[in-house]
A and B are shown apart, each in its own frame.
Chain A
Amino acid sequence: MKLIFEKSQPGRQATTIPASDVPAVQASKAIPAHLLRDEVELPEVAEVDIVRHYTNLSRRNFGVDLGFYPLGSCTMKYNPKVNEEAAKLPGFTQQHPYAPAEWSQGSMQMMYELRQMLSEILGMKDFTLQPAAGAHGELTGVMMIKKYFDRLGQKRTKILIPDAAHGTNPASGALCGFQTVEVRSNAEGGVDLDHLRELMTEDVAGLMLTNPNTVGLFERNLEQVMEIVKSKGGIMYCDGANANAYIGTNRPGDLGFDVIQLNLHKTFSTPHGCGGPGSGPVGVSEKLVDFLPVPRVVKKGDAYEWEYDAPDSIGRVKAFYGNFNVMIKAYTYIRSLGAAGLKRASENAVLNANYIKEKLRDHYQLAFDRICMHEVVFSGEKQVKESGVHTADIAKRLLDYGVHPPTIYFPMIVPEAIMIEPNETESKETLDDFCEIMIKIAGEAKENPEMLHKAPLTMPVKRLDGVQAARQPDVCFSGGCC
Chain B
Amino acid sequence: MDYVPHTPEDQKQMMKTVGISSIEELFADIPEKYRLKKLLDLPAPLTEQEVSGLMQSLSENNRLPTAMMLGAGAYHHFIPAIVGHLIGRSEFYTAYTPYQAEISQGILQAIYEYQTMIAHLTGTKVANASMYDGASAMAEAAVLACKTLQRKKIVVSKSVHPEYRQTIQTYAWSNGYEVVETGYQQDGTLDAAALKAAVDDQTAAVLVQSPNFFGIIEDIAAIESVVHAQGSLLVAGFTDATSLGLLKPAGEQGADMVVGEGQSFGNPLNFGGPYLGIFASNEKLMRKIPGRIVGATKDEDGTRGYVLTLQAREQHIRREKATSNICSNEALCMLAAAVYLVSLGKNLKTLAELNLNKAQYLKSKLLALPGWSEVFSGPTYNEFVVRTPNAHVVNEKLQAKGILGGYDLGRDYPDLKDCLVFCATEMLSRESIGAAIASLA
Report the minimum CB–CB distance from A348 to chain B (whole Å).
5
Contact residues of A: prevailing secondary structure: loop
Give the residue name and chain of the A residue nearest to B59 (CB).
A91
Residue B410, interface by CB 8 Å = no
A469 to B269, CA, bound (A): 36
A14 and B342: CB pair below 8 A? yes
B97 and A99: CB pair below 8 A? no
Residue B121, interface by CB 8 Å = yes
B315 and A104: CB pair below 8 A? no
Interface size on A, residues (CB 8 A): 200
Q: When each residue 284-310 of chain A gets 1 if its CB lies under 8 Å from chain B and 0 otherwise, what string results? A: 000000000100000000000000000
Residue A278, interface by CB 8 Å = yes
Residue A228, interface by CB 8 Å = no
8 Å CB interface, A250-272 against B = 250-251, 254-255, 263, 265, 269, 271-272
Q: When each residue 1-37 of chain B gets 1 if its CB lies under 8 Å from chain A and 0 otherwise, what string results? A: 1111110001101110111100101111111001110
A456 and B268: CB pair below 8 A? no
Residue B368, interface by CB 8 Å = no
Q: How many A-B residue pairs lie within 8 Å, measured between CB atoms?
A: 672
B109 and A464: CB pair below 8 A? no
Report the minimum CB–CB distance from B173 to chain A (whole Å).
7
A22 and B358: CB pair below 8 A? yes
Given known A89-B55, A93-B268, A96-B404, contact A316–B31 (CB-CB < 8 A): no
Comparing B42-50, B180-188, B192-200, B369-377, the segment that makes contact with chain A is B42-50
Given known A50-B82, A476-B125, contact A319–B73 (CB-CB < 8 A): yes
Given known A135-B315, A276-B328, contact A37–B345 (CB-CB < 8 A): no
A251 and B273: CB pair below 8 A? no
Most buried by A among B57, B130, B360: B360
A427 to B3, CA, bound (A): 10
Give which listed residue, B64, B74, B91, contacts A91 with CB less than 8 A. B64
Residue A187, interface by CB 8 Å = no
A40 to B1, CA, bound (A): 50
Given known A96-B74, A273-B92, A340-B39, contact A132–B248 (CB-CB < 8 A): no
A30 and B94: CB pair below 8 A? no
Contacts of A152 on B, CB cut-off 8 Å? none
A82 to B55, CA, bound (A): 10
B45 and A341: CB pair below 8 A? yes
Residue A4, interface by CB 8 Å = yes
Contacts of A265 on B, CB cut-off 8 Å? 328
Report the minimum CB–CB distance from B151 to chain A (whole Å).
15
Residue A236, interface by CB 8 Å = no
Give which listed residue, B301, B314, B325, B429, contacts A172 with CB less than 8 A. B325
Give the residue name and chain of the B residue nearest to A89 (CB).
B59
Residue A201, interface by CB 8 Å = no
Contacts of B19 on A, CB cut-off 8 Å? 358
Q: When each residue 270-288 of chain B gets 1 if its CB lies under 8 Å from chain A and 0 otherwise, what string results? A: 1111110000000000100
A1 to B296, CA, bound (A): 12
Contacts of A426 on B, CB cut-off 8 Å? 5
Give which listed residue, B54, B112, B246, B330, contacts A277 with CB less than 8 A. B330
Q: List 6 A–B pairs whose Cβ atoms lie within 8 Å, in order of A's numbering.
A: A14-B343, A51-B86, A265-B328, A320-B163, A358-B17, A466-B297
Give me the 8 closest cross-chain CB pairs, A-B, nearest first.
A320-B272, A338-B45, A91-B59, A106-B61, A273-B332, A63-B94, A97-B272, A61-B106
